[in-house]
Each structure stands twice: as structure tokens, then as C-alpha cells.
Structure 1
Amino acid sequence: MKKALFAFVLLVSFSSNGQLGSISGLISSESNEALPGATVVLVGTVRGVESNLKGNYVLKGLKPGSYTVKVSFVGYTPSTKEVTILGAEQREVNFNLSDVTELQGVSVSAQAGVKGNTFLPQVNEYTITAGKKNEVIVLDNLQANLAMNNSRQIFSRTPGISVWESDGSGIQLGVASRGLSPNRSWEFNVRMDGYDITPDPMGYPEAYYTPPMEVVDRIEIIRGASSLQYGPQFGGLMNFVLRKPDLSTKLVVESQNTTGNNGLFSSFNYVGGTSGRLSYTTYYQKRRGNGWRQNAYFNTDHSHAEVSYAISNKLKVGGQLTYMQTESQQAGGLTDVAFAQNAQQSLRARNWFSNPWFIYALTADYIIDTESKLSVKYFGTTAERNSIGFTRAITEIDPLGSRQVDRDLYQTNGIELRYLLNYNLGTWKNTVATGLRYFHGDMTRKQVGVGSAGNDMNFTVQGLYARDLSFQNINYAAFAETILRPTDPLLITLGARLEQIDTHMAGQSGLSAAGVPIATVPSRRGRSFVLLGAGAEYKLSPNTKLYSNIAQAYRPVLSSDLLPPATTDIIDPNLSDAKGFNFDLGYRGEISNYLTFDLDYFYLDYANRVGTISQTNSEGKIYQYRTNLGHSVSKGAEAYIEFSPTTAWLKHQRLGNISIFASVAAIRARYLDFKTTSVVSGKIVEGNLAGKQVENAPDKINRYGITYSKKGLSVSWQISDISQAFADASNTKTPNAAATTGLIPGYQVQDISGSYKFKKYAQLKFGVNNITDARYFTRRSGGYPGPGILPADGRTWYVGLNVKFVN
């Protein structure tokens, strides 16, 4: 794969524009000021560039013919011109754009006005987002510790997002919404540039890879109704969109270097640009530190290369390669007593974790005509999850003997074909988005291996793994969704998704007392079903709208659900996927550039939850039986409001710009039914969790902040106010000795971050996270890397220097 992509780069690098024409010119405002960063596209083609710092643009390599050039820029009315090229003619076409208050699509706020999230347009590339609850987190709009992927700051303006702050290294992301579990973001369908980056969305959806936020342009979040076009999730879609090649210049070189306390050092280096039909980017990030807690050392390397080439004005192809290597020491959990004494201490010094991750993708986009286009993405992942350590209850002292080694090996391949068409139905101007998907995931799980007795990260084992299993998931899907526009203010969406999932498990489930492998009973299951959904959107004004949608969702039976924890346990042969639906009703919009808001009510129905109960067999022996037991509902209200009083009330902002935001969520996540059993004096006692609060689901998630900007200076302060939650579904308040169950207290934490731009090419970044040095935790772990309380970081600081050179 690497050799093929390299050959492709060489091929396109030596391509020549020959005797072809070009279109160039200047883009300016009505006051004749140059507009750098304006988007210039040839309508009906894949060709496009951006204006440079002087407002100039150039489109090269054009065959003779007629073209429509469209120019757009945030806050200005788009302009189009018809241009004809004869032979190798070099045409000069200038654009003078007029101001406009309406903002459409994904945009970055200007210096004045609000600084926060924005919304997706009705159609986002090949995906319909009309009528859906969605957010776009524009990273350039944030003052945050991006070097450490500080998710508390990154998702601050996205209401209802709960965050597990148990990984201070920033390697892994644990977020969720609306009362779902934040465990490695597994209730989201996590993608990067539109393709999967998790081990297996159908069998093991945990997100072990997170791209460095310094290279992320934006994070697109579509809540539950995204299931129609993206598949298995109740939480919705979370798509990391990386920075694309700079279309205005041949070469951009950027370096961001950050240091902080606890030995933090991060160096992010980026090169990209566009030359004719060829665009390219590459980056490398090195991040290491000792962590806020003892025994929390981390050392990570990220690298990425991307290239795209317009073979013709209709066809563009590209490729991406991404690699991550990590070395992370796991400090382990604490008891409640130990946490109160010293939250920075660690009772585990020999626990290590590593997850090398290699992702590749090949893409092709073909513009059929002005009303239709086609996209193909082929993608795959070769990755590992490796851990070694002493993982028993935190109340047990590490005897310094052999450690347990667990390893997962992942190999996935997939392809998605998407087609978008604008069509007329009478006087209605409609849009339909359709697609086909194939995905093949293989996972090899090797567990309970006898490792070394040393202190280092060493994953070699002595003898056989006690458990050695293989899982395979094959998924076929077809989906279609349409926008019907009966009137100008009203649109309706209708959609359906057909899924076919085949799962297979085989291998070794354990070792006998004599060390002989015990083969597991092979398991194979297939299921197919249809998901349906509908939505609507009504424009109350040019910039405000009502939206609503309802869509079915599902969560596939995971690989871990098929794996019995003991050889005597039994898995229900009819174990089925969790199913339910999402409903949203909201009102969102913008008022000029000084107010952005989104208010909504949601209802999430989650049925067929998997659980384990005790049963008695024909011989009178008690065994554990895993089956579908639970049903929960999450409902509540979410609100995001950001307001700039200086932009709204002051005509001349000589004192600078102030932007204030509030992101609040009131969530009630409760079990309607969840059958349980316990064994008392040899007898099974039945119970039910009906009425209990769903674990790891706080009722209140509120965040507030203020940003002050003037010329090159921008400073933000924010506070997170999160209510209590429970670590288990039984809502145990008094913690057990091992600290795996019990209350997770509410907390408040404050951050301040800022930046200062100078000399046009340099920027200083700085900040203090958790400025009051609050002691809190968001997670009680029942397994690796705990068990026990995993404290969040106390006060930390950082300072960085970014330099950028443009040729």
C-alpha cells in the first residue's frame, strides 16, 4: 500500500499542464480591500483554489472551453462569472464582493463577533444533514490546550457532552452525549475525513486513536439521526476533519512547539500546499511528558501524509496514510481513602499500555454534472492494543511477580460508495443521497498471558495465552435519504438503511489445569434489518429555523458480549442487537454575527440492553446467562447560546471584542426495566433496576465561558459545572473497598487559555488548566487501567510558540 501510494505521488508530481490555459485574478471587497482565503471553484468540476494573502488566485491547467467561476467568502455575497478559454489563453477575471449578513455552511468566525460552534449546511458534501441536530466545532475558534487534546475545552460549547477525564496524556478520547457511556467514545460512530478509524464499528467500536487536535480543522457532530447514513450508533456521528492542503500557495511550513509542567513537550510540524492539480499535506507530532500523577509517563508519535490530484476537471483522486505509536504508563486506580489523601499518588508502577495504529485510505470524487456527483472511499486499519501490568483490585499490593499481558490485533478493510443527486419533482427542488457500504473486520484477542516480572513495557509472554480468540465481522449496507422541498421555508427528509451483519467467533477460551488449550464453541450469527427515519426543517427567518427528526438506531452485539468470562457461563444463542430510536425538536440560528443559538429537546429510547443474570440448569447448578435484559430512556433539554455584546451594541470596537457563551444540558437517563439476579444462601433472588439512574450519566452538564479579543490578543476563561453520577446501574452510593462502585461526586473546574499573534507569521499560546487545582474524578474503573478511582488532572500550565511560513 505504501509503495503504491508513493508511486502515485511520483506519477502526478511529474505531470505537466502542457499547452493549457488558466484563469487568474484578484478578489476584493466593495472597499477594494483584498480578501485572502476566499474560495474559488469551477462549478460542476472538482477544481478549486483559495485566494492568497494578497487576494490573488490562479486556476491552471484548463482545457479550452466555457467555465463558470464561483467565488465565496464568509460574510459576503457569492459571485459567479462565465469565462471562455481559447487554446492556451491566460484569462484575468477579478471579483469584487459585496457585504451580506447571512452566513451559510461551515465557516470560521471573523475577529469580531461570536467565537464558537457553527452548524452544518443542509447538504454536507455527500451527506444530508437537514433536520438533524448537529454541531461543527471549529478548532481555530477555540482558545484551548490543543497540544494535549484537552477534550473538556474542545467540547465546551457542545451541550450534553460528558467527558471522561482519566487520560491526561491526550492519547485517547472518552466522550458521550445524552446519558450514554463515554468509554472510549464507543457510542459514537467515530470517523476521520468520513471513514472509520475504530477497530470495528460492528464488533469493537472503541476509539483508541485520536488525531492531534493541532491538525484537526473541525469536528462534525451529528446526533442520533445520523444512523440512517452512518450506521451503528445511538450517540451519532463524530467526524474529525483534518486540515486540507492550502489551495492558495505552493508551500506552507508550520511548526508548533509547546512546553509545560510535568515535563510536557510537544512538537507539531506541518508542510502542505498546492501546485497546479496536485495538493499535498504531511505532518509529524512528537508529544511526551511525565503526567500529573506518579507513574503516568507518556511518549507518542503521530505522522500523516495526504495527496490529491485532479486527473481531469471532473475527477479527483487522493490517498492518506496515518500512523501513531504510543508508549503510556498507567498509574492505575485509587481507593477513596487514597484519593482523599493524595490524588497524585499511584499504587501501580509496572502497568503499561501501547496501541500502534496504521490507517490508510484511497478516495475518488467524480462530478457527473452540475446536479450529481459520486464518491468512493476505500479504507483500512492495521492496529494493536497491548497492555501489561498487575490488574487485580487496587486493595491488593503488587507482589512484583509476573505481570499479565493482553493483546488485540486488528485488521479492517472497507469501501463506501456515495451518490448525491439534485432533482426536480414538479416545482419541488429536491436532493437525494444514496450509498453502499462493505466492511470486513478481523480481531485476534490474546489475553491472560504470563509476562515479565520487570518494570518496563515488554509484551513478551511465557508459554501460551490462556485465551486466544478470533472474531470476524462482515457488514453490508445500503442507504438512501432524500430532501423534499415543497415550499421555500419548509423541507422534509425521509430515509432508510438496510443492514446485513455476519459475526463469527472461534478459538481458545482457556487452559486446563494441565495447561492444555480449551477450544471455545464456535459461534456464528447473521442478522439483517431496516432502519427508518424522517425529519423536517422550517425556516422562520433567513438565519433561524425549527428542526425535528426521528430515526431508528441500533448497537450491534459486541465481540466482548459473545465472550463468556468463565467456561461455565452461557451466552444466549439468540442474543440480539440493542435497538431503539432518537427524537429531536429544536430551534437554532444566528442573528447577524453577534448571536448564535441552538435550543432543543431530545428523547433517546435504548432497548434490548445486554446483561447477565443467574439461572439454574437441569442439574440444579447455578450459572451466569448473558442475554437482552434492559431498557432505558434518556430525555432532556440542551441549549447553546453565544453572544457578543460589543459587536451587538458598539459600532466601533476600539476596546476589543467580547464573546460570552453558555452550553447547558438537563438530562434524565433512567432505566425503565432491567432484570437482575443475585445468589443468596445458594438461592437466586430476582430484582429490577427500574427507576435507577443510568451509570456514568450526570443529570447536569453545564459549561460557561467568555472570550476577549483585541488585535492579535485573544484570552478565554471557562467553567465546567457537572453534577454527580453513579459508577454502577444499582446506584450504589457508598463505595466498595476496591472503589469500583460508588458515587462519582459533582465537580466544578475552571480553565484559562490565550494566544497572541505577532509579526504575521508567529503566535504565542498559553494557558492554565484547572486553575483552582480542584480534586475530582469522572470515572471509577472496573478493569484496566484501574481498577478504582482514576483522578482527573489537577492544575497544569502550558506555553507554546507557533510559526508559519508561506511561499
Structure 2
Amino acid sequence: MRSLYLFVGVFLLLSVPVFAQKNVLKGKIVDEKQLPVQGASVVLEGTVRGVQSDLEGNFEIKDFPKGDYRLKISLVGFETLIKEFSIDEKETKSLEITLNEEALLLDEFRLSASRGILGQTHLPEVDDFRINAGKKNEVIRISEINANLAMNNSRQIFAKTPGITIWENDGSGVQLGVASRGLSPNRSWEFNVRMNGYDITPDPMGYPEAYFTPPMEVVEQIEIVRGASSLQYGSQFGGLMNFVLRKPDKSTRFTAETINTVGSNGLFSSFNYIGGTEGKWNYTAYYQKRVGNGWRENGEFNTDHAHMEVSYAATNRLKLGMEMTYMTADTQQPGGLTDSQFEEDSRQSTRARNWFSTPWFIPSLYAEYLISPKTKLSWKAFGTFAERNSVGFMRPINVEDDLGNRQVDRDYYTTYGTELRLSSNYTLFGKDQTLMSGLRYFNGHIDRKQLGVGTTGSDLDYSVAAGDYRRDLDFSNINLAAFVENVFRFSDKFLVTAGVRVENIRSVMEGQLNVVNGNPQLLDQISRARSFALVGVGAEYHLTSGTEFYANFSQAYRPVLISDLTPPATTDVIDPNLKDSKGYNVDFGYRGTLFSYLQFDVSYFLLNYADRIGTIAQTREDGSIYQFRTNLGNSVSQGFEGYVEFDPVTALFGNSRFGYLHLFASLAFVDATYGDFEVTSVTNGQIQPKNLKGNQVENAPRKINRYGATYNLGKFSMTWQLSDIGKAFSDASNTELPNAAATVGVIPAYRVQDLSASWNLWKQHSLKAGVNNLTNENYFTRRAGGYPGPGIMPADGRTFYATLALKF
């Protein structure tokens, strides 16, 4: 906390000049018809200072040094304007600014906005201290889609992002389980999950499970960069998923918003937000309360989210900021079902005493410094101080709860890290080139306490009987990394990216594995230290002004996790030469916008996942059998991902007073299969070898198709969506028939529909409503082998919601 106090102290010291320096630049921005232009970006070039125009087109920048400046005013649909001015100390200067429309672009933008087609786009070539050129990526603009945001409905949110697999078993909306390209959706652990560019998982190098998801009401956009993100962000194979929160309103000193949602099964969500800009200061804060009973029995949840951000322009070139995020979520876990129970009544629950909670605190400090007009520096420091707690009856789901002592498992996470990035533009071959480089330090510690003897009660109680926890493990992880990547522009149409990342990882596992007959069983300390490099190359060719070909090859890896180093029994053996899983991603695609009514992105991908970690039976010299965890083999995922959005009304008629219709299809064919991958089982004391070659990777449906239609008329909008997902297997052996505990077996194909609508009552207020799972389909997406199951985890049936949003 000392660093936080120091930071606040620096803020207070730097705020002193605010009261002494009163330079003010005011202005009004209008178009050629003298109508006010709202939301225009107004930036003092070569500085970190900038605001936006308000509803009346007015803007104001305060408290900056006297001197000569260039003011840059820009907005999509208008020609960018540069206006030079001078200002003296304590002077108030007023400017009248007229923006000229870019006729064709403005027409396309207005038509697109009326259709809502901006809900899905992709990242610019270079932005925010990162290179995106040549990479497969998507940007989901949350405010521009119709969805049940109060419940973080991922089926609706990721509808236009092709190839996303979703586990729909968390009715509370707290935990997000998504993946792509045949990878496991288990708490999104194959993605590098970040918020505003910094880590929010317990330990991306050792335990990357995402137990925290920010409320979608405050998320401005979700950025997804597929495997090609590995150079700039490191692990995982799935790429980057970054939640970008709404920034402070730059057009006003103060704005407030309240979004309140009610729905089925006792759902109530209240989201409250404030933000604004005053001189050199920007601020924002939100609080969300969400409670409900859940669609299934024993599915109660109670969550609180809070966040604040404050930034300060210390000088024209230096910007300082801090963020703090806190979440607490108490959820009752209804457990899994057997296949017969699921067919009988998928809402039932035989686990009334299972609970889960995740208090989560994430502080962050950041600074941006403009070294020169072409070179800038970014620094972030962040930490995670959190817990993962569960209590319940953990036997197989076909075993009746004996109402005895429950099992208590608790994780304590203490992690911190920092990243430094440098962005520089330079001239080569007569073209502007971009160099990006960065350094990263991360230190993580996990204190894992499991197999505690809990109470015989049924409430949320983590009390442990004498003897504490039979398992008590410590996992430490230190990661040092450096990367450099460059954009080489050879012409206005063609560019190439190339880069390298160097990683050093040091992991240590030690502690007590179990207690047998009163005797502690201690683990021999397991240490891993390794260094390696990743390389990548990409390219982009702009066929037209709105379309481009892109291609990329990037190496990736998945580090040895805490679970890989934890033997189920002390007789099991961890390979002393256990390696990180490594491989690569390949993308080749074509994307862009044609005319004003067609947007698309179609691509081929290949993901090679080598040195996958698994367990194989071995025999000792005395004939005894033990389990040996090592690198067993590889899998390959390849296929097609396509997204297309089309507005037939605009295509046929141009403008329409009867509204606009836009249709989209998000399609993916995923062939995820194992290569040479040897596994074994033990039957009657004999080792039975088996090779998984040719088997479908578990939790990887071949077909992931989603379709939708949105109708817009003035302030009214309605969206219908259909998810059409193929069958998948829950285990690598591709078992068709389920076992008695329902932990293995096929996961059937399913189709589910959603309907949502919104109506902007006034400029600032809106009413939204919808039906999720419109036809009340009975389906599931996951068979859990352990918590929060075991067994079939049913998805929610039909639910309703209504939202009233007020902005002041």
C-alpha cells in the first residue's frame, strides 16, 4: 500500500499548479450547416491533453502552459482539421471551428450507425502501444449490440466473433468460459485475459483461470487478438482477450448514469456510474450490485463490483493514473446432474450445501510520457490480491449427499507485475515505420489449501475443523520477458511485421500433499527454470481502400501450470524434464468493408499444439504401477472462420424511412484432432496402452455457427440471434455413452435463440428488454469432472429481463 500512498501524494503535489494556472481554451464545433458536432476529438498535438465536444459542440481545455500549439480536431465522417493558435498565461481564448464533411464516408458512417453494423470491427494497424497489423483480431463494441448485459450473456456478446466456444454453466454471470480453435473454455484459461491492458487472472504463467469478469455495462469494448498476440503478450495459445472499460467522459465536468435490470428468478441488477473531466483531471467510478436465485435450484448469487480510475496530466507530455477494482461474489453451486436426472428435470439440484466465493482486488498504476512527437513511453504496474474459496460435498453426482462434513478448498493469490513499452515512428524507404518494444516483470504466489474438513451445515461457511487442511501447497512464479516488433511499410498498400519475444520463467512448487493416518505426506520441492524465444512474422496487403489480405505466423506456448505439478497422489511422479507446451498459430484471411452495406472477415487458421501434458502409467522394477506426468504428444486444429454482415435495405434502396435491416452470419468449421498422443489405463493390474491419434479434441465442436438479424427504426432496435453448435466429446477418448457419474460422454449438438430490443426514450435515457433461450431449449455445454459439478452442467432455460437506463 505504500506505493499507493506515494502515488496519491504525488497527485496532490502536482495538483497545486491547478489553482495558479488558469489558461483556458474554449471552442464550439459546427458542421457546414452550422449544426453542433458532438463527440469530436480535440487534441493538443504533441501533448497528452485532449477532450471531446459535448451535445452542443462545445469543448474546453484548461490549465496548460502558455505557448504556440496545433489543435487537431477529428471525427469519423469529417475531414480532420488542424488549427494553430497561441495562448498567454492566464488567457482565455475562444475558437469557432467548422468541420467539413467527407461526403461518401459520412454517408456510409451514418448508414452503418443506423443499422448498428459497428457492433463488430477490427483493430487499427497500430494503436495504444501495440501492433495489430497482419493479425487476426476482432473488436466487440458492447454499447452497440442488443444483449442481456446485466448477466454478461456471453452467447449474445460473442455472437459475431467466429469460432468462439462458450461454456454456459455459470448462471451468476461472474465467470466467463470461452475459447476458440479447439481449445478448452475452462474459465477462459487458454486466453491471456486482461483488463485495460493488464493481467486480471491469478497467475497467467501458472494458474490462468479467469474468476473475475467486469460488468458488461462498463465495458466499452472487448478486444480479441488470436494466437498472433503471443509476441506482445506471451502465453496463451488462444491469444489475447482484453476488456476495455469506459474512460472518463471528456466532454463534461460530471456525468452520472444508472442502469437497473429486473428479470426472471429474482434477478435484480443496479449499475451506477459517474465520470468527467475537470482541467487536468479525469475521473470515473462505478458500483454494481447483482442478486438472483438462479435458473436452477440452489443457484443463488450475490455479487458486488466497484471500480475507480483517476488520471492527471502532470505536464503537457506526462500523464499519470491509477485504477482500483474490487469484486466479491458469493454463489451457491447447484452441482452437476446424471444423464437421467438431466432428462427428467434439468432445473433440479442434489447439492444444496455447495458454495463458492471469489473476493478480488486489482490495483493498477500507469504513466504515459511523450518523449517526442514520434516516440512515446508507457508504464503499467498492477497486482492481484484475491481468493478462490469453495465448500461442499464433492463426491460423484450419483452418490447421495450424506449430510456429513463438507470439503473446504481455499486459494490465496498475491501477484504483482509491471510492463514498460516504447513506441517509436521513424522514416525508412520514404515511408513511416513503427517500432514497438517492451519489458515485463511478473511475480506470482499461490497459497493453496485443500481437503479441509468443513462443517455439516448448509450455509456459506469456510470454517475448518482441527487439523486444518490435509493439502497445503505453495506455488511461486517469476517471469521476465522482453519483446520487439516492427511494422515495415513498403508502400501504401503493402506492409510486413516481424518480431521476437524472449521469456524467462522460474517456478517452484512445495508443501504438503496429504495426510494419511495422521502422517503428513510432503512433496519434494519441484523447481522449473527455463528460457526460450518466440518469433513471428505477418503481412497485410490493401486490395482496395476498404479491404485487405492478412497473413501471420507466430509461435506460442502454454507454461507448466500449478495443476501440472500437483500429483493426485504421492505415488505419482512428475517428469523432472517436464516442458512447457509449445507450438504455433497460422492465419490467412481477407477482411474489410464493401460499399456501405457489407462487412466481412473470412480466414483459414492452423494451430499446432505440441508437447501437450498428460499422465501415463509406468511400472517400477518391483512391478508396481505408478502414474507419470509428462509431455505426451500434440494436437492440430485447423479450419475456417467467417463473419459477414449485410444490409439489404441500404443495398437496394439507399435510404429508407421504414428502417434498416442488417443480417449477420458468424461461421466456423473446426477440425481439432490429436496427432501421435500415447495414453494408458490400468485394468486388473495391467497397463493398457492406447494412442489417441485421429481422435477429436475434447470440448471442441466442429460446427460453431451463429446467425442474427437486427431491425432499426429511429430510436428503436430489435435483434434476433440463433446459435447452432455441433456435438463435442467431453474426453480425449471420445466416449459416446456416458458413465454413471456423467463426467464423460458426448455433449449433444444444440440450437438456442435470443431476442432483445432497445428503445432510446430521450437523448440520454433508454429502455431495453429481452428473452434469452426463446424456445426454452434443454441443453448443456459441459460435463464437469470436479467442481462445480461433477456431472452435466445444464445451461439456463428461458429467462426474461428488462432494463431502464438513465443518464444525467
Query: How far apart, in 2, do the equivalents of 1:444 and 1:569 lie?
Result: 22
User: Is 2:551 aligned against 1:548?
Assistant: yes
1:651 CA drift (Å): 3.5
The equivalent residue for 1:356 is: 359
Q: Deviations over 1:161-186 (max 9, x none)?
A: 00000101101000001110000000
Mind listing any 5+ residue stretches in structure 1 that lack a counterpart? none
User: Is 2:487 aligned against 1:483?
Assistant: yes
Contact kept in structure 2, 1:777 and 1:792, CA below 8 Å? yes
TM-aligned CA distance change 1:427 to 1:115, over 3 Å: closer
Contact kept in structure 2, 1:114 and 1:593, CA below 8 Å? no
Query: How far apart, in 2, do the equivalents of 1:539 and 1:96 lie?
Result: 32
The equivalent residue for 2:94 is: 92
Which AA in structure 1 matches 2:648? P
The equivalent residue for 1:736 is: 739
The equivalent residue for 1:46 is: 48
Which AA in structure 1 matches 2:472? D
Query: How far apart, in 1, do the equivalents of 2:5 and 2:155 lie?
Result: 40
Query: How far apart, in 1, do the equivalents of 2:347 and 2:215 lie?
Result: 26
Aligned with 1:745 (options 723, 748, 756):
748
Aligned with 2:168 (options 150, 162, 165):
165
The equivalent residue for 2:34 is: 32
The equivalent residue for 2:434 is: 431
Query: How far apart, in 1, do the equivalents of 2:80 and 2:747 lie?
Result: 51
The equivalent residue for 1:198 is: 201
Which AA in structure 2 matches 1:485? R
Query: How far apart, in 1, do the equivalents of 2:61 and 2:653 lie?
Result: 40
Q: Deviations over 1:463-499 (max 9, x none)?
A: 2211100000000000000000111100000000000
Secondary structure of the residue aligned to 1:110 is helix
Aligned with 1:597 (options 600, 616, 622):
600
Query: How far apart, in 1, do the equivalents of 2:341 and 2:7 lie?
Result: 52
1:427 CA drift (Å): 1.5
Contact kept in structure 2, 1:112 and 1:647, CA below 8 Å? no
Which AA in structure 2 matches 1:717? W
Q: Deviations over 1:556-600 (max 9, x none)?
A: 000110010001000000000000000000001112442211010
Query: How far apart, in 1, do the equivalents of 2:229 and 2:676 lie?
Result: 27
The equivalent residue for 2:113 is: 110
Query: How far apart, in 2, do the equivalents of 1:321 and 1:280 lie?
Result: 12
The equivalent residue for 1:508 is: 512
Secondary structure of the residue aligned to 1:731 is coil
TM-aligned CA distance change 1:665 to 1:80, over 3 Å: same
Query: How far apart, in 1, do the equivalents of 2:167 and 2:678 lie?
Result: 27
User: Is 2:459 aligned against 1:471?
Assistant: no
The equivalent residue for 1:179 is: 182
The equivalent residue for 2:293 is: 290
**Percent identity (aligned):** 58
Secondary structure of the residue aligned to 2:385 is strand
TM-aligned CA distance change 1:171 to 1:109, over 3 Å: farther
Contact kept in structure 2, 1:611 and 1:627, CA below 8 Å? yes
Query: How far apart, in 1, do the equivalents of 2:728 and 2:116 lie?
Result: 36
The equivalent residue for 1:499 is: 503
Contact kept in structure 2, 1:102 and 1:543, CA below 8 Å? no
Query: How far apart, in 2, do the equivalents of 1:540 and 1:711 lie?
Result: 35
The equivalent residue for 2:372 is: 369
Query: How far apart, in 1, do the equivalents of 2:15 and 2:85 lie?
Result: 28
The equivalent residue for 1:61 is: 63
Q: Deviations over 1:416-466 (max 9, x none)?
A: 000000011232321000000000000000010000000001111012211
Query: How far apart, in 1, do the equivalents of 2:264 and 2:764 lie?
Result: 26
Contact kept in structure 1, 2:115 and 2:711, CA below 8 Å? no
1:261 CA drift (Å): 1.1
Which AA in structure 2 matches 1:648? A
Contact kept in structure 1, 2:258 and 2:272, CA below 8 Å? yes
1:5 CA drift (Å): 5.6
Which AA in structure 1 matches 2:714? K
Secondary structure of the residue aligned to 1:111 is helix
Query: How far apart, in 2, do the equivalents of 1:607 and 1:78 lie?
Result: 49
Q: What CA RMSD, in Å, does the superposition of the two structures yield over aligned residues?
A: 1.5
TM-aligned CA distance change 1:13 to 1:643, over 3 Å: farther
Which AA in structure 2 matches 1:642? E
Q: Deviations over 1:520-551 (max 9, x none)?
A: 10111100000000000001111110000000
User: Is 2:400 aligned against 1:397?
Assistant: yes
User: Is 2:191 aligned against 1:188?
Assistant: yes
Contact kept in structure 1, 2:112 and 2:597, CA below 8 Å? no
The equivalent residue for 1:693 is: 696
Secondary structure of the residue aligned to 1:229 is helix
The equivalent residue for 1:723 is: 726
Which AA in structure 2 matches 1:494? A
Query: How far apart, in 1, do the equivalents of 2:636 and 2:128 lie?
Result: 33
Secondary structure of the residue aligned to 2:220 is strand
User: Post-superposition, which runs of at least 4 consecutive aligned residues in structure 1 deviate over 6 A?
Assistant: none
1:709 CA drift (Å): 1.2
Which AA in structure 2 matches 1:393? P
Secondary structure of the residue aligned to 1:541 is coil
TM-aligned CA distance change 1:102 to 1:475, over 3 Å: farther
Which AA in structure 2 matches 1:89? E
Contact kept in structure 2, 1:232 and 1:553, CA below 8 Å? yes
Which AA in structure 1 matches 2:406? R
The equivalent residue for 1:796 is: 799
Correspondence list, 1:699-718, <5 A? 699-718=702-721
Query: How far apart, in 2, do the equivalents of 1:353 and 1:509 lie?
Result: 23
Which AA in structure 2 matches 1:74? V
Deviates most, 754-763 or 616-625: 754-763
User: Is 2:647 aligned against 1:644?
Assistant: yes
Query: How far apart, in 2, do the equivalents of 1:58 and 1:202 lie?
Result: 45
Correspondence list, 1:569-588, <5 A? 569-588=572-591
User: Is 2:264 aligned against 1:261?
Assistant: yes
Query: How far apart, in 2, do the equivalents of 1:570 and 1:102 lie?
Result: 64
1:84 CA drift (Å): 1.7
Query: How far apart, in 2, do the equivalents of 1:107 and 1:119 lie?
Result: 19
User: Is 2:330 aligned against 1:323?
Assistant: no
Query: How far apart, in 2, do the equivalents of 1:201 and 1:107 lie?
Result: 41
Secondary structure of the residue aligned to 2:564 is helix
Contact kept in structure 1, 2:115 and 2:710, CA below 8 Å? no
The equivalent residue for 1:76 is: 78
Contact kept in structure 2, 1:753 and 1:767, CA below 8 Å? yes
The equivalent residue for 2:622 is: 619
Secondary structure of the residue aligned to 1:337 is helix
Q: Deviations over 1:284-341 (max 9, x none)?
A: 0000000000000000000011100000110000000000011100000000000000
Secondary structure of the residue aligned to 1:482 is strand
The equivalent residue for 1:247 is: 250
Deviates most, 77-86 or 279-288: 77-86
TM-aligned CA distance change 1:87 to 1:13, over 3 Å: closer
TM-aligned CA distance change 1:95 to 1:723, over 3 Å: same
Query: How far apart, in 1, do the equivalents of 2:431 and 2:513 lie?
Result: 59
Aligned with 2:144 (options 137, 141, 145):
141
How many residues align? The count is: 802
Query: How far apart, in 2, do the equivalents of 1:740 and 1:244 lie?
Result: 43
User: Is 2:123 aligned against 1:123?
Assistant: no
Deviates most, 463-472 or 59-68: 59-68
Contact kept in structure 1, 2:111 and 2:596, CA below 8 Å? no
Contact kept in structure 2, 1:490 and 1:536, CA below 8 Å? yes
1:88 CA drift (Å): 2.9
1:43 CA drift (Å): 1.4
TM-aligned CA distance change 1:11 to 1:110, over 3 Å: farther
Which AA in structure 1 matches 2:546? N
Which AA in structure 1 matches 2:478? I
Contact kept in structure 2, 1:704 and 1:718, CA below 8 Å? yes
Contact kept in structure 1, 2:116 and 2:145, CA below 8 Å? no
Query: How far apart, in 2, do the equivalents of 1:746 and 1:94 lie?
Result: 60
